[in-house]
Amino acid sequence: MSHANATLTPKTRLKLAKLVVHEHWTISEAAKMFMVSWPTAKRWVQRYLDHGAAGMQDRSSRPHHSPARTPQALVKRIVALRLRKRLGPVQIAGLLGIAASTVHAVLVRCRINRLRYIDRHTGEPIRRYEHAAPGEMLHVDVTKFGNIPDGGGHRYLGRHEGGRNSRTSAARTGLTRSSKHPRNGTAFVHTVLDDYSRVAYAEIHHDEKAVTAIAVLRRAVDWFADRGITTKRVLSDNGSAYVSGAWSDACAELGITPKRTRPYRPQTNGKIERFHRTLNDGWAYAKFYGTETARREALPGWIHYYNHHRPHTATGNKPPVSRLTNLPGQY
C-alpha cells in the first residue's frame, strides 16, 4: 500500500514510466507533468525497464543487511532474563551492560515487551486462541462460594456481626461443628461458556459430583441449541466429575468430543476462569445480600445482563450475544 501522502500511486507510476519509455518523453518533462523530482521519475522509469508493470508496486523499506543489529546471542540472554525473572528493560540493561533502549527494542521485536504477554507462573509467552464459530468449544467448570448466613455475612457487616449471623444460621441448620467454626454450607456454581461468543450459562447446586455435572451439561447443550448453537466439543479441567466414565459416556451420547486441560495448567481453560472472576465481582460479592436465597435468585438476572447488555472486550466491547447471528426473532 502506498503512503497516505505519496505523490505517485502504483497506477500513476506506470503512467509516468510509459510516457518516457513508449511515448519518448524526457524524464524532465514527465517529472514536471507529475510534480515529482527528476531522480524520482528516473527511478520509476528504470524499475519499469527492469521489472515491467510489476515493478511499480511498493517494496519493503527494510534494509538487506543490518550490521548494527543486536547479536543473536545477546538477544537470547535478554529474552531469558525477561522470561525467567520478569525484569524490565532498565534492570536487564544494568545486568548486561547495554542501553535500556536496546533491550526495549529486542523485547518489542520478540513481542514480550509487556509483562501481561507472559504467563505469570511459567514465564512462557501467552498463546491466545479463539475458535471460529459458536459451539466449536464449550468451557465447563465449577466455582464455589460459601453460603451467606441469614442477616448477611462478614464481607459487608464485619467479623463480629457477620460471625454472629453465621453461628446463628449454622445452629439453626444443624451444620455447625462448634461455636468457633460454624458451617453454613457451600454453593457450587456450575458454569458453561461458549469459546467464540463468550455467552454463559450457570446453575447452582449442592455438590460437584459427576451426575450433577452431566445434568448441567445436558441442560446447557439444550439451552445453547435453543439459541442456534450446536455443541461440538467441551473443555474441562481434570476434576473427578470430568475424568469419570459417566462424563465420557454422556458426551458420546450427546455427540460431543470431551477435552481436558493439561494437569496443573488452568490457563488452558482461562476463559472460564476469567469469567469466574467477573462472576465474583458482578454477582457474588457485588452488593449486600441478606440471605443466600436472595443471592441465588439474583443469578439468572445477572447472567442475562452479562450475555445481553454487558460490553465484553473480547467481542469488540459488545455484549456476547452480539456474536450470535441466528437468534430466533433477531431479524
What's the burial of 324, exposed, middle or buried (CB within 10 Å: 0-12/13-18/19+)? buried
Rounded CA separation 168/184 (Å): 10
- Listed by start position, the domains of the chain span 10-56, 72-117, 138-147+185-323
Classify residue 262 as exposed, middle or buried by CB count within 10 Å of its CB (0-12, 13-18, 19+): exposed
Pair 164, 150: CB distance under 8 Å: no
Q: From CA 135, how far away is CA 213, in angstroms rounded?
A: 18
DSSP classification of residue 201: E
Q: How far is CA 313 from CA 19, 22, 120, 249, 283, in A?
A: 52, 56, 21, 36, 19
Grid coordinates representing 164 are: 454472629
- Please name the fold of domain 138-147+185-323: Nucleotidyltransferase; domain 5 (3.30.420)
Distances (CA, A) of 58 to 13, 21, 47, 74, 174: 11, 20, 11, 33, 78
pLDDT in tens, the chain (331 residues): 555 556 788 899 999 999 999 999 999 999 999 999 999 999 999 999 999 999 998 888 888 888 888 999 999 999 988 888 878 888 899 999 999 999 999 999 988 877 765 665 555 555 566 788 899 999 999 999 988 887 877 776 777 676 777 777 776 666 655 555 566 778 999 999 999 999 999 999 999 999 999 999 999 999 999 999 999 999 999 999 999 999 999 999 999 999 998 887 777 788 899 899 999 989 998 889 988 899 999 999 999 999 999 988 888 889 999 988 655 544 4
**What letter would DSSP give residue 195?**
T
CA distances from 248 to 151, 213, 258 (A): 42, 12, 7
Range 293-312 burial, b when 16+ CB lie within 10 A, else e: eebbeebeebbeebbeeeeb
How far is it between the farthest Cα atoms of the chain?
103
